[in-house]
């Protein structure tokens, strides 16, 4: 598991956001939430780190809104 810091969280989210934009597709809310859910499942400890370092309780919603 990664040592999640606030800086690493932002870096990973920005990379995901860039990948979504490079894809060239428009994502509706449902797709954004699916992407966020998959990303959080793949990144062990990220959900807890976002809660701890950023103070977000709705992590899936936060990631979905951040990336798309």
Find all residues with CB under 8 Å of 65, minimum gap 6, and list them. Answer: 32
Which pTM does this prediction carry?
0.89
Q: pLDDT at residue 24 above 90?
A: no
pLDDT of amino acid 7: 97
Tens-place pLDDT, residues 40-63: 999 999 999 999 999 999 999 999
**Alpha carbon 38 to chain centroid distance?**
9
24-57 in b/e form (b: 16+ CB < 10 A) is eeebeeeebbebbeebbeebeebbebbeeeeeee
Q: What is the pLDDT of residue 67?
A: 87
Half-sphere exposure of 26 (CA within 13 A, CB side): 1
Mean pLDDT of 28-46: 95
């Amino acid at each position: 598991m990664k040592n999640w810091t606030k800086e690493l969280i932002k870096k990973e989210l920005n990379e995901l956001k860039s990948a979504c934009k490079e894809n060239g597709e428009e994502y509706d809310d449902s797709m954004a939430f699916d992407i966020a859910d998959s990303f959080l499942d793949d990144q062990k400890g990220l959900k807890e780190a976002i809660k701890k370092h950023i103070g977000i309780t709705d992590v899936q919603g936060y990631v979905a809104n951040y990336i798309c």
